[in-house]
């Protein structure tokens, strides 16, 4: 598995809008990409968010690289206060706990 972590510095108070736009545009695009396994978006503070993506391998990740950067600019470029920071690497460990489903599931995570 291969992973990408994207840090977004956003205009204060726009996290809900970033998540809404990601749900509407980024999620359908990502789920259509070969080798895409999943994504989690995390609100770190009032002006920072992180997206964590998992891909089958480096080859499928590399095939998506340019598209992801274009998607970021198209979807939330007007809400960013700095260019997105992207780090990537091979997944070395994985743990999965018991899942509890409280409320409705969204496209942003697997139910």
The domains of the chain, with CATH numbers, are 2-90 (3.30.70.100)
**Is the pLDDT at 110 greater than 60, yes or no?**
no
Q: Is the pTM of this model over 0.85?
A: no
d(CA 47, CA 81): 9
End-to-end Cα, the chain, rounded Å: 21
**Is the pLDDT at 43 greater than 50, yes or no?**
yes
pLDDT per position as a tens digit, 52-72: 999 999 998 888 877 777 888
d(CA 49, CA 101): 23
- Between 106 and 93, name the one with better pLDDT: 93
Radius of gyration of the chain from its Cα atoms, rounded to whole angstroms: 14
């Amino acid at each position: 598995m291969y992973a990408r972590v994207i840090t977004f510095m956003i205009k204060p108070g726009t996290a809900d809008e970033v998540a809404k736009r990601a749900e509407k545009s980024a999620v359908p695009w990502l789920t259509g990409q070969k080798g895409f396994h999943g994504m989690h978006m995390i609100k770190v503070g009032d002006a920072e968010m992180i997206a964590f993506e998992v891909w089958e391998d480096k080859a499928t990740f590399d095939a998506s690289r340019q598209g992801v950067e274009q998607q970021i600019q198209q979807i939330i470029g007007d809400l960013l206060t700095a260019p997105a920071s992207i780090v990537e690497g091979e997944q070395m460990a994985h743990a999965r706990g018991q899942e509890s489903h409280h409320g409705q599931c969204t496209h942003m995570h697997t139910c």
